[in-house]
Amino acid sequence: MKLLRHRRIVALLTMLTMLVRLAAGCGGAKTTSGDKTGGTESGDVVKLGFLGALTGSVANYGIPGKKGMEMAIDELNAAGGILGKKVVGIYEDNKGESSEVANITQKYISRDKVNAIVGDPCTGLTKVAAEICQKNNVVIFSAGATGTGVVEYGDCVFRNTLLDKFAVPAVVDWMINTKGWKKFAVVTSLNNGYSTALTPVFKEAIKAKNGSIVIEESVNDGDTDFSAQITKIKQAKPDVLVFTGYYNEAALMQREAQKQGLDIVLVGGDGLYGQDLCKLGGKAVEERVIFYCGFSSDQPSPETAKFIKDYRARYDEDPDMFSAQYYDAVMILAKAMTDAKSTDPAVFKKELAKVKDYPGVSGNTTFRPDREPIKSPICLITIKNGKFALLEKIPVKVE
């Protein structure tokens, strides 16, 4: 009896330590690599806080975003700043974690006293920051949140991105009518807010266009083994695989499909827009992944061409959607502040809401009365020779 009890205690302890370990692992490293601006007082400068991950699983969105933002700020300063004030960017790495986003947003507002926050590229994280910003009356301008329920946080919340609810019906229409794909497999990443929000949008559009969903599967972000799901999908014989999650899992899923001899195109949203998709996917994603987004460096418009040229000269690489949208976000903020003749968020937010047909480098932007942006056209991107390449541009039809 005594022995038994002893063993129970050991079992309990083991469980406890496992929990502790799990929690510790998720917390991650506590290093911050923020650029110190120091010594400047708010008032004679305009401060913009950057939200985005510079390390971690969604760093592929944040790193190009930061580059676009830095470039925009330098261009503004070269032209005399905003209303004669120097523009200063403050950069912290939120690692793609909600708790870090909350900490950093709080720090930007209470310690740095920023005039506006640019970011985050992820919908779920933007919502975390939006709530804090709205409460403190600071403007937040997301350069990537495409999911629903973002600007609903209040009149301080803006975004500059192609919305899923406008893009998906057009993309589904293209898949069914141009490509002739009618049987869909839909895969969701359950622990990814972007994915769980995007899946219903796709399902609704597929139903509306009379496509059929032959199988629905789910995975989790951070999974590496997709063998069971791919085996099931192969059995259902779909024409196309819709995956609503991020690039890491998409790359590994296509590798698994290749291993099992399943030759299928994976279609998704701009969550797939990360260089690691090509790096992790290798040959398995070559022309086997298509996603939609609001920017492509191929076939540029005149506004975009100059941006691409300057970006290449500065960073020795091609800009992507996130660098373009962060760049535009800073520029649109600057325009609103100039028009409002004030850098006070409570004042310039009204000018910001009036932006119409702004010819940005990431397409034309107009804010509807409910502050939702309308951007056109949609770029369909695929991978050729290990690089992102424009497949087609399709127009957005909004009521």
Partner 1 sequence: MFWQQLINGLTLGSTYALIALGYTMVYGIIQLINFAHGEIYMFGAFAGLFLVTRFGVNVFVAMLGAMIFCMLLGMLVERIAYRPLRGRSSRLSALISAIGVSIFLSTLMVLIRGPQTDRYPDTIEISSFSLGPVQVSSLQVIILLVAALLMLGLQVFIHKTKMGKAMRACSEDLDASSLMGVNVNRVISFTFALGSALAAAGGVMVGLYYNAVWPYMGLMAGLKAFAAAVLGGIGSIPGAMLGGLCSGVLEIFGVAYLASSYRDAIAFGILIVVLLVRPQGILGKPISKKV
Binding segment for partner 1 (CB under 8 A), chosen from 5-13, 42-50, 102-110, 387-395, is 5-13
- When asked if residue 385 is in the footprint of partner 1 (CB under 8 A), the reply is no
CB closer to partner 1, 149 vs 222: 222
Q: Can you read off the two tokens belonging to residue 373?
A: 């942006």
DSSP secondary structure string for all residues of 230-272: HHHHHHH--SEEEE-S-HHHHHHHHHHHHHTT----EEE-GGG
- Map residue 212 onto helix, strand or coil: strand
CB closer to partner 1, 62 vs 147: 62
Q: Sign (positive/negative) of CA torsion 114, 368, 356, 270? A: positive
According to DSSP H, which parts of the chain are helical?
Answer: 2-27, 59-78, 98-107, 123-136, 164-173, 193-208, 227-236, 247-259, 276-281, 302-315, 321-340, 345-352
Among 83, 179, 190, 317, contact with partner 1 (rule: CB under 8 A): 190
In whole angstroms, what is the distance from residue 236 CA to residue 214 CA?
6
| Interface with partner 1 in residues 255-284 (CB under 8 A) | 255, 258-261, 276, 279-280, 282-283
Q: Can you read off the two tokens belonging to residue 240?
A: 């196309």
- Map residue 341 onto helix, strand or coil: coil
CB closer to partner 1, 225 vs 344: 225
Among 1, 25, 370, 399, contact with partner 1 (rule: CB under 8 A): 25
- When asked if residue 7 is in the footprint of partner 1 (CB under 8 A), the reply is yes
* Residues that contact partner 1, how many (by CB under 8 A): 49
Burial class (CB in 10 A: 0-12, 13-18, 19+), 180: exposed
Minimum CB distance to partner 1, residue 280 (Å): 5
Minimum CB distance to partner 1, residue 38 (Å): 25
CB closer to partner 1, 56 vs 154: 56
Among 95, 203, 349, 371, contact with partner 1 (rule: CB under 8 A): 95
The three-point CA angle 50-83-64 to 5° equals: 25
CB closer to partner 1, 99 vs 110: 99
- When asked if residue 40 is in the footprint of partner 1 (CB under 8 A), the reply is no
Minimum CB distance to partner 1, residue 322 (Å): 16
Among 252, 267, 329, 383, contact with partner 1 (rule: CB under 8 A): 252
- When asked if residue 34 is in the footprint of partner 1 (CB under 8 A), the reply is no
In whole angstroms, what is the distance from residue 326 CA to residue 281 CA?
26
Binding segment for partner 1 (CB under 8 A), chosen from 13-21, 114-122, 150-158, 377-385, is 13-21
Minimum CB distance to partner 1, residue 8 (Å): 8
- At which residue do the structure tokens 């709205």 appear? 134
- When asked if residue 239 is in the footprint of partner 1 (CB under 8 A), the reply is no
- Map residue 158 onto helix, strand or coil: strand
Minimum CB distance to partner 1, residue 326 (Å): 20
The three-point CA angle 109-111-113 to 5° equals: 50
Q: Can you read off the two tokens belonging to residue 186?
A: 């839909």
Q: Can you read off the two tokens belonging to residue 265?
A: 């195109």
In whole angstroms, what is the distance from residue 260 CA to residue 257 CA?
5
| Interface with partner 1 in residues 282-341 (CB under 8 A) | 282-283
Q: Which residues here bind partner 1, judged by CB under 8 A?
A: 3, 7, 11, 13-15, 17-18, 20-22, 24-25, 28-29, 31, 55-57, 59, 95, 190, 217-220, 222-225, 227-229, 231-232, 235, 248, 251-252, 255, 258-261, 276, 279-280, 282-283
